[in-house]
Structure 1
Amino acid sequence: MKIDHVHLYVNNLEVAEVWYKEVLGFVRDESLLFWFTQGGPLVLKNNEAALSLFERRHQSPGHTVAFTIKPCYFSELMKTLSSRAIPFTVSDHQVSMSVYFEDLAENKIEMTSYEYHEARKNIQSYYGKAFI
């Protein structure tokens, strides 16, 4: 497992994009720009590091850490979360699949895979049927 990206909630996307570019060398990930144009995050990259910038609207201070996992681990992860009564949600991002939950201190965690079809199939196996 490795950290895939961090969600950062900012007050002004344009100002934040310039700051991260000028100070830390982050640039837009053009391959994921469609998410931003559809109302999602603005993804910035610097080599292997990635940030997903969201304009702060109603979010309280705090961030989300996203980890990359192999698609085969999704059903095992969801079984573990369920057995510990940890609520989770699944999101189909059309190019990736993600499971979201919180740790004991209410820090947001995202487990994600860009091996879309295999991840979706593994998540469906947890439910025993197709999910929406």
Structure 2
Amino acid sequence: MSVLRIDHVHIYVNNIAEAEGWYKNVLGFIRDESLLFWFTQGGPLVIKNNEAALSLFERKHHSPGHTVAFNIKPSCFHELIEILSLRSIPFTVSDHQVSMSVYFEDIDGNKIEMTSYEYLEASKNIQSYLMSGKL
């Protein structure tokens, strides 16, 4: 499978406004206005500095730790789901309305997200595989 790049990292914070200010003042991150709707709907606040992206989540009951999200081509979801299934690695699929993601954990419990913003193709690809009965 071909991973294109690290897409973003989930950062769990005690106070999103304070964290946003810190990342802006110290590292130059600013809000990604195109994804602000996620935050207004109760999701993460996505901040960027050029191609580097962070998703700020308010820490509720989440222990310290992060999720690394890798960007992949929509066509890679078939291969990913098959690999996870063959290795009995539990996963979940999330439809974020602008992206499709598959979530799972590595051998040490670190959270991994594989995502594609080529939404329509990714959605069709995942659905066709899940409906194929190969799982």
**TM-score range, shorter-chain basis?**
over 0.9
- TM-score of the superposed pair, with normalisation by structure 2: 0.94
Verify: 1:42 aligned to 2:50, yes or no: no
Give how far 1:20 is off: 0.0
Aligned equivalents of 1:89, 1:75: Cα separation in 2? 14
**Runs of 5+ consecutive residues of structure 2 not aligned to the other structure:** none
Structure 2 residue aligned with 1:20: 23
- TM-score of the superposed pair, with normalisation by structure 1: 0.96
- % identical aligned pairs: 78
The residue identity in structure 2 corresponding to 1:116 is Y
Structure 2 residue aligned with 1:74: 77
Verify: 1:115 aligned to 2:104, yes or no: no
Give how far 1:8 is off: 0.2
Give how far 1:127 is off: 1.0
Residues 60-71 of structure 1: pairs in structure 2 closer than 5 A: 60-71=63-74
The residue identity in structure 2 corresponding to 1:34 is F
CA deviations over 1:51-76 (Å, ceiling 9, x no partner): 00000001011100000000000011
RMSD over equivalenced CA pairs, Å: 0.7
The runs of at least 4 consecutive aligned structure 1 residues that moved more than 3 Å come to: none
Aligned equivalents of 1:15, 1:124: Cα separation in 2? 39
